[in-house]
Structure 1
């Protein structure tokens, strides 16, 4: 059955799961119809949550780790593991209640579920089918992995020069003032962008995850400055084999990321599943094609980058697009990201080390705006016959601007706080020696 656009906008990573608590009218409906926990949906959401976890460790850790120099491999693995773990703890303490707690306003939820107060094994979260629910603990865990991977993605713009202590302090401030509020604004029932008219479409995190992380990484790269020897020394990836392994793990885990955002084991999940296949495949091929068009050889690094660009672009559109629209979105986003990374970035004094902004930031922007087009029935999208492209496109642009602006300002505050307390950047001696030994006293490789 065709869903109203308002409902489709809510499908971003389970926003409807908290509407009963966030909106009085929904709460009244929930009281009238006792929800039934479906074991199939619950089982699927447990699997989806674990799949997203695999995206972080080992997926993202190996993807990023393979792209740095040998002397910094272990530092990247440590940073990803530690900052993701830190995000999970903060999520349980106060992140969940800030994003999806009871009450609050358009920018932040209430603090009634601080330390998950009142949540039990009997607590439920709504799905998209009336009267069908999943255990609230599953929803909490699923959303927790989103917070963890988003802050981990920021690391890609900062590697090989950021202090470990600075990263952890940055994460504390950034999650509090950037991620939790943006998640609420986009996905909570009383959130600013969820209640926009028409509502912003973000199925699984184009704004909340990718634009947020990409813009924050860009701000951090600017504040940190370039690595010593940037554009003067060879800084080639030390192991594209590991990067390919990481790419594969990210792609597999992304099925949980996108298809899991349907919150049910149903047709919407299968559409997101298929779109995650084809958009990514288009991203791989069109990045390599763009390399050839720009006068370079089609490379494995390009293919891996294209896969991530396709995945990023389809994230907001996973359930808001037909398969053909997803292919077009993956192709267009991949070509734009490739053009920026291969052609434009070398002309800039910007050391976005692993292209966190070039892929996640730009890909997220293209995907979020492009979602307005993928809704078109003429492209096989799920929009109604009277779907109005113009108003939806305006809303998507507004959502991008608000999320990018919030992330830029909030991340600047977080980085300057970390700089004031820790100094932010390692010493020149440590940077030249490598962060493996200088920051952690270990080596990734003992040869």
Structure 2
């Protein structure tokens, strides 16, 4: 709608040119008509209705000096909802109606002039406020556009199908205006199988976004280069050790699917993924807990590789703590495993959409932390196509010269004219 409003004035020159061709009367009145029509189109309905109600109350109540100052509420309200042209239109209407009411009630000229001057002052101030509000909205729109572009560059959209998996991702930033936060995810096909990561950076704001960009950049490179999943985690750890502060870290789950039926998981201080097998939803607790990425130097525990069977119809949900730590008005956490069981279906996108709606209803409409959900499903393998039926027995082609008959599929297309001509030549050569 904003795009249409910005270009709405482009139609006026065409209308003026047409009026000029129709006659001098239209040409003389077109600028005034254009101004009035523009103000009428930009004038908001609610402030005009408020002005009309004040006028009706004045007419019903008698003396107008009590009601006339309330006409200033019209342009003041228009400043919050309209562009400057609309504010001026409402203010002009209020001044005209105020003057008419003052004259009708016989108000002293000095008092009426003071009231009208106040209406004019409120209208001008409201128009200025509307102009400043419009400028701030344009700046905010530009900032949100840049943030959205940065999000698409950092958290690249994941297709609905990656390798043998159906995939769905849902990301919600706590700062809705920023569209981006400290949670991260990526899922990419590599020569070593499909690999993915879901993580949560400590902190918020631009520093968290920078750390998330660093982790994703290293992961995308290492996932293609390193055949071992632990080596991928090691490269991320070394990069963070060089670039993070002493109290910064990243919790993450890194997973890989190197061969059919085999899922590898490395958990670095992150919430355990939820494995769905049949109707059971089971958390994948790490067998050997490891510290978050960036803190290995402070602990003697190293990440370990956990191998799980992952076959047809199995699903794996990875998430961040913005989901499990979401609280309702009674300070109760959101039960993610129970919600997943309620909304589980064969389409990961439908499942995540239902989970997100329930999560928002649980917290009362808005999350207070970044939240990321990534659901992976292994659909059943497509059955192999039926083998082609054998061709029927030999069929005579009408040749009695002893040559083998041509065999053709029952529904095969007839030969083209070019092929028929070649066969005629061959027959003649055979006869010779």
**Relative contact order, CA 8 A, sep 6+: which one is greater?**
1
What's the TM-score once normalised by structure 1's chain length? 0.25
Answer with 1 or 2: which has the greater Rg.
2
- TM-score, scaled to structure 2: 0.25
Higher helix share: 1
